[in-house]
Structures are given as C-alpha cells and as structure tokens.
C-alpha cells in the first residue's frame, strides 16, 4: 500500500507542476503494477492528464469505459463531456452537409445525456449553442429549437469576445445575444411568428439599444400583416442606425404596398451604405433586389447595371448564379457568358447610389483641421460651424494627397449615436478643392 501511495503522490505532484505527460507515464505504470488496487481517483488523474495534453480521443475512450462501470461520477463525466466536445463539436465543420451534421449530432446527444441536470456546464452550453447554430445552417429548425431550449437565457454570459477581422478588432455576439438570435430565427423559419416576436421582445428587454433585434421584430410584425406599423418602426430605426439591411427591409415593405418610388429610394440608399462592406460578394442580393425594382419601373439601364454587378460579384468568388438572376437576365437580354468587370460596374452603380442617397443636396465646403494617419481618419471644420468626421477612403483623390489645411467639398451625413445620445456628423464623397 505504501508503494502505491508513493506513486500516487508523485503523479499528483507532477499534475500540480503541469507535467502532464510525465504523470501519464507514471499512471500507466501504476495501472500495470497495481491493477487490483486502482481506484476512481487514479482513473480521474489519468484521464485529466490525457485531456490536458489534448489526447482527447484516448481520454474519451477511457472515460467511456469507466462510465459503463460508474455512471454518476461527476469528475470523470466532466472530462468525458469536454473530450467529446473538443473531438466532435469544436472541431466540427462550420458549414457541414446534412449528413455530416447528423454525425456530429449523435455526439451532442451524448454530451447532453452526460451533463443532464448540469445546466450551467460550460461544455454543455457551448455544445448547445454550436449545434443550434449548425442546425440553422442545414435548415433543421426543430433541432435548433431543441438545443437552444436546453439553455436558460438568464444564466448566459453578456461578455462579447473580441477577434481580429481584416486587421481590426471586432466584437462577437455574447452567448445571451446568440440565444435570442438563434431561437428567433428558428421560430421564424418554422412560421411561428407570434412566438418569434415574443422571443425578440424578450431580447429587446435585455438589449434595449440593439438595432438588430428591433429590425428583426419589425420584419416579423410585417410578416404578421402589420406592414404600416412595421414600416414606421423601421424608419425610426434609420434615425438611430443607418444600416443597409434596415433600408432593404423598408424597400421590401414599400414593394408590398406597391409604392415603387419609395421602394427604389430606400433600396438604393441601402446599396450605398453596403458599399462599406468588406466582403463585396455579400452585396449581391441587395443589388439584385434593386435591379428588380428598377426593372418594374422600366428603368432598364439602371436595372442592367445593378443586375450585372450582382452577377459579377458572385462570379468573382465562384458562386453559381441564382435562378432568379438568370430569369431577370433573360428578361433584360443580359449575356451570362459575358465577361463582367465588377470594379467597373461598382463605379457605375456607385454614381447611381449617390444620386438617390443625396438627391439635390449641395456639397458643403470645409477645411481639414485634424488627421490621424495611423488610424486613417480625420475631421473637417465646415462652413456651417460643425465638425465632420471622415475616413480617408471617403476622399475621392489619392490618400497620399490628404493633408491638413486642405479645402474640401462633401455631402453632410448625420447619424445618431445611442451611447453618447447625440447626433454625429460625417463627411461623405469628399472632393479636394484646393490646398491653402
């Protein structure tokens, strides 16, 4: 007994020193020498070390064998759950096929069974969020609901993880926000609009300043038949946040109300705002929808340019064309084999976007008084006495020409900052007039 205890103490000391590989070797020696004296704590130390060195498959297999002997050991089951999570859930594809998703799902079911009653288990939480999210992607909305309903939103974190995206720090949605997002999307896809709106309204109570939830709620209200009220809510949102998807929704409702003029105006403004998207291909749907409105209004030249651009950006990333694009192309006489230049079409559609976004607004004059070349932004002091923020790409000339004391002309653009509770001023489509 003394010898096995000495070995156990050595293993425990190695664990404390985080020398897990050495602890594994000693544990295997212990199992070999003292097979009849091995207890559950010896097994737990061994599986814990396997997990710590990321030997998840061995840890899971060993825990599975132990589970057949003792099903209620919380420590062993916890390692089992985490090993399965890392092996099959975290390592799973972000966009699986239906068959691949079904394969992942059986391991998720095992995790749920093992962690039953442990609603605050982090592995269980991460599994539910991941599976529910993947279920949306494979259009298995019932499964998405099943897994998201394993969670209690009141116990979910509000922390927003940060990631680097194209050289910039971007915040990801918190677990609590993901809950409301996933559940509302699943209910919407199942046509359960009343429940969907209840979920969205609960989310809005938690996140009263969140534009995305309010936008979704307005869309659901429109789907339930209250189009005028939904329209009013969406228009009010544009005073707070100018997002392309809000204008796109407004345009869609105006289309349903057969108000093509307002549908077109809002669709094109949405297109203009979407020009700031990093991934150009994601604009295709909005530009295509705008092409359809132009076509309905017999503005065929504009319809052609917007349709061609929607086709060009999909082709550039090797996405196939959508059937509805092919139908409209046939109606407008577009040769689908024609080589299209997305950059050239971008420039053409951008001019149209500016025309509809700014209308008869005259450009304002001002002088660049502040520049941050590292972060590529600055401020213009304008003739109306206000200070206008701008980013260097908004200046039409080459950025190397941007200096302090430049006289410029620009379109004034207002946005509302909820955090600061004030109107902010931006300068768009900036032309350099002269250097003072």
DSSP string covering 356-399: HHHTTPPPEEEEEEEEETTTTEEEEEETTS-EEEEEGGGBSS-G
Measured distance CA(61)–CA(436) in Å, rounded: 75
> Is 322 domain-assigned?
yes
Does residue 300 share a domain with residue 327? yes
Last residue of a domain, one of 302, 333, 360: 360
Measured distance CA(314)–CA(317) in Å, rounded: 6
> Is 417 domain-assigned?
yes
Torsion sign across C-alpha atoms 164, 166, 171, 175: negative
What mean pLDDT value characterizes the chain? 91
Instruction: Tell me the three state secondary structure of residue 429.
Output: strand
> Is 111 domain-assigned?
no
Residue with tokens 């206008």: 388
Taking Cα atoms as reference points, which of 418, 409, 401 lies closest to residue 382?
Answer: 409
Long-range contacts of 162-170 (CB under 8 A, 24+ apart): 165/278, 166/278
Does residue 355 share a domain with residue 281? yes
Does residue 326 share a domain with residue 276? yes
**Which pLDDT belongs to residue 436?**
47
Instruction: Tell me the three state secondary structure of residue 184.
Output: helix
Does residue 324 share a domain with residue 389? no
Helix axes 175-189, 122-137, angle to 10 degrees: 40
Does residue 280 share a domain with residue 354? yes
Torsion of CA 203, 206, 209, 212, to 10 degrees: -20
Does residue 325 share a domain with residue 397? no
Measured distance CA(166)–CA(57) in Å, rounded: 34
User: pLDDT tens across 247-257, in order?
Assistant: 999 999 999 99
Distinct helix (H) and strand (E) counts, the chain: 18, 7
Last residue of a domain, one of 302, 329, 360: 360
Long-range contacts of 386-395 (CB under 8 A, 24+ apart): 386/412, 386/425, 387/425, 388/412, 388/425, 388/426, 388/427, 389/424, 389/425, 389/426, 389/427, 390/426, 390/427, 390/428, 390/430, 394/427, 394/428, 394/429, 394/430, 395/430, 395/432
Residues of the chain short of pLDDT 70, as ranges, are 1-2, 117-120, 166, 397-400, 417-421, 434-436
**Which pLDDT belongs to residue 331?**
95
**Which pLDDT belongs to residue 423?**
79
Which tokens belong to 114? 């093992």
**Which pLDDT belongs to residue 119?**
44
Last residue of a domain, one of 360, 380, 410: 360
Helix axes 323-332, 300-316, angle to 10 degrees: 140
> Is 416 domain-assigned?
yes
Do residues 181 and 197 touch, judged by C-beta distance below 8 A?
Answer: no
pTM of structure:
0.82
Helix axes 141-148, 175-189, angle to 10 degrees: 150
Does residue 397 share a domain with residue 344? no
Measured distance CA(139)–CA(98) in Å, rounded: 9
> Is 308 domain-assigned?
yes
CATH of the domain at 393: 2.40.50.140
Q: How far apart are the first and last CA of the chain?
A: 91
Does residue 341 share a domain with residue 286? yes
> Cα dist. 310→268, 306, 340 in Å?
14, 6, 10
Does residue 275 share a domain with residue 355? yes
**Which pLDDT belongs to residue 72?**
84
Domain range enclosing 319: 269-360
How many structural domains is the chain composed of? 2
Phi first, then psi, for residue 33 (nearest 5°) are -80, -35
Specify burial of residue 128 (Cβ count, 10 A radius: 0-12, 13-18, 19+): buried
Residue with tokens 């394969």: 103
> Is 428 domain-assigned?
yes
> Is 147 domain-assigned?
no
Does residue 354 share a domain with residue 385? no
Does residue 408 share a domain with residue 346? no
Instruction: Tell me the three state secondary structure of residue 97.
Output: coil
Which tokens belong to 141? 């909305």
> Is 338 domain-assigned?
yes
Does residue 370 share a domain with residue 354? no
């Amino acid at each position: 007994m003394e010898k096995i205890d000495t070995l156990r103490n050595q293993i425990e000391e190695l664990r404390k020193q985080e020398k897990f590989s050495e602890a594994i070797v000693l544990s295997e020696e212990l199992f070999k020498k003292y097979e009849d004296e091995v207890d559950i704590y010896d097994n737990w130390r061994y599986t814990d070390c396997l997990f710590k060195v990321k030997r998840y498959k061995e840890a899971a297999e060993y825990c599975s064998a132990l589970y057949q002997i003792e099903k209620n050991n919380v420590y062993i089951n916890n390692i089992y759950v985490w090993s399965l999570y890392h092996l099959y859930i975290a390592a799973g594809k972000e966009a699986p096929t239906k068959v691949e998703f079904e394969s992942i799902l059986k391991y998720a079911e095992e995790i749920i069974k093992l962690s039953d009653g442990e609603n605050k288990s982090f592995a269980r939480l991460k599994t539910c969020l991941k599976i529910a999210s993947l279920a949306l992607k494979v259009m298995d909305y019932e499964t998405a609901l099943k897994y998201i309903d394993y969670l209690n939103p009141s116990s979910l974190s509000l922390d927003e993880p940060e990631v680097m995206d194209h050289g910039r720090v971007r915040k990801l949605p918190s677990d609590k926000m993901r809950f409301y997002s996933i559940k509302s999307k699943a209910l919407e896809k199942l046509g359960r609009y009343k429940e969907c709106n209840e979920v969205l309204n609960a989310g809005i109570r938690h996140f009263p300043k969140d534009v995305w939830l309010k936008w979704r709620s307005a869309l659901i209200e429109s789907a339930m038949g209250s189009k005028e009220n939904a329209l009013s809510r969406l228009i009010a949102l544009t005073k707070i946040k100018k997002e392309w998807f809000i204008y796109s929704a407004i345009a869609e409702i105006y289309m349903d109300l057969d108000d093509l003029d307002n549908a077109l105006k809002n669709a094109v403004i949405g297109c203009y705002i979407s020009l700031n998207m990093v991934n150009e291909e994601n604009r295709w749907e909005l530009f295509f929808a705008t092409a359809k409105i132009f076509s309905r209004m017999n503005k065929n030249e504009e319809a052609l340019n917007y349709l061609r651009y929607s086709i060009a950006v999909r082709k550039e990333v090797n996405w196939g064309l959508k059937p509805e694009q092919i139908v409209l192309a046939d109606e407008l006489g577009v040769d689908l084999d024609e080589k299209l230049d997305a950059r050239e079409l971008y420039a053409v559609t951008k001019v149209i976007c500016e025309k509809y976004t700014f209308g008869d607004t005259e450009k304002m004059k001002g002088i660049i008084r502040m520049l941050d070349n590292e972060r590529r932004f600055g401020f213009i002091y304008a003739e109306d006495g206000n200070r206008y923020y701008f980013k260097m790409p908004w200046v039409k000339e080459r950025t190397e020409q941007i200096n302090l004391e430049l006289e410029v002309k620009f379109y004034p653009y207002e946005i509302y900052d909820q955090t600061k509770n004030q109107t902010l001023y931006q300068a768009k489509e900036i032309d350099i007039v002269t250097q003072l």
